[in-house]
Amino acid sequence: MAQEKLLEIKNLKQHFNPGKANMVKAVDGISFDIYKGETLGLVGESGCGKSTTGRTIIRLYDATDGQVLFNGEDVHGKKSRKDLKKFNRKMQMIFQDPYASLNPRMKVADIIAEGIDIHGLAKTKEDRLKRVYDLLETVGLNKEHANRFPHEFSGGQRQRIGIARALAVDPEFIIADEPISALDVSIQAQVVNLMKDLQKEKGLTYLFIAHDLSMVKYISDRIGVMYFGKLVELAPADVLYKNPLHPYTQSLLSAIPLPDPDYERSRRRKTYEPSVHNYGPKDQVEMREIAPGHFIHCSEKEFEQYKAQYNY
């Protein structure tokens, strides 16, 4: 049975200061699909464009070029406030910094209920408060927390409040922009496990943006690797970790430490040098499917080399 596409990204570009000497191609023509009920992990070093990709998908930035199709509808083509409001209810975001993403002057009940109020989801004050209490319980907090301010909570608790806020409007799709990077290691697993449980319970679809490769493997069904605005490899999580093809993916995976002293003493970090590709002006460099569901950004010559090297 074929998976149903929820999101289609087609040649998406996000250029800052276009046409100027200091133009930055933060996202430079990437394409991928996200299927209903799955988690797609997006990884890469700082500055590679992964967070900008998420923010462009949800329309925090207007795309320079390309398409974002959500349930077949062009996100960046929506103009009316009614259309945008409907779209914003279906797609929500969990932000990286649990300290900066919550208004310090608002009580937790009002932070969580903001989306409920905007979309008119509660008929009465009692209904509104019940929804807030239920959401707090869903993310592992209790109703006594509703009357507190954000500064009274730990980082992990604040991120749970952020998740509750995202869930308040019953979205189909959530973009999680490095949701655990600002948290202690002991809390990261709790937040990720909460997200996995919520996904099963509510049938959510995630774009999980991160730089922690071990955690991305744990939560993701498929993983995309970004480098300087380009998507260089996309594959099922297990396949990517067992058989990384692109030299940049190999360099990222070689940097993952393991709790094994013998392995760590002998581990050799691979360094990625873009010059290894040696592309000429006539080389057509694009994403090519080397095996079912496994795509790599390469030239035709490199594609044949990869197939010979890995017996594809």
pLDDT tens sequence across 136-150: 999 999 999 999 999
pTM of the model: 0.92
Give CB contacts under 8 A, 24+ apart, made by 25-31.
25/228, 25/229, 26/52, 26/229, 27/52, 27/53, 27/56, 27/229, 28/228, 28/229, 28/230, 29/65, 29/66, 29/230, 30/226, 30/229, 30/230, 30/231, 31/66, 31/231, 31/287
Domain limits, CATH 3.40.50.300, in the chain: 5-243
Phi-psi region of 229 (alpha: psi -120 to 50; beta: other; left: phi over 0): left
- Name 225's bridge partners: 43, 233
Class of domain 5-243 as given by CATH: alpha beta
Q: Which residues make Cβ contacts (< 8 Å) with residue 10, sequence separation at least 6?
A: 31, 66, 67, 68, 69
| Residue 177: C-alpha distances to residues 208, 226, 243, 274, 277 (Å) | 6, 14, 26, 27, 30
Measured between alpha carbons, how far is 219 from 299 in angstroms, rounded to an integer? 31
Please write the tens of the pLDDT for every residue from 198-250. 999 999 999 999 987 888 988 999 999 999 999 999 999 999 999 999 999 99
Q: Band of the pLDDT at 182, cuts 50, 70, 90? A: confident
pLDDT confidence tier of residue 2, bands split at 50, 70 and 90? low
Reported as type and span, the H/E element at residue 114 is helix 108-118
Band of pLDDT at residue 1, cut at 50, 70 and 90? very low
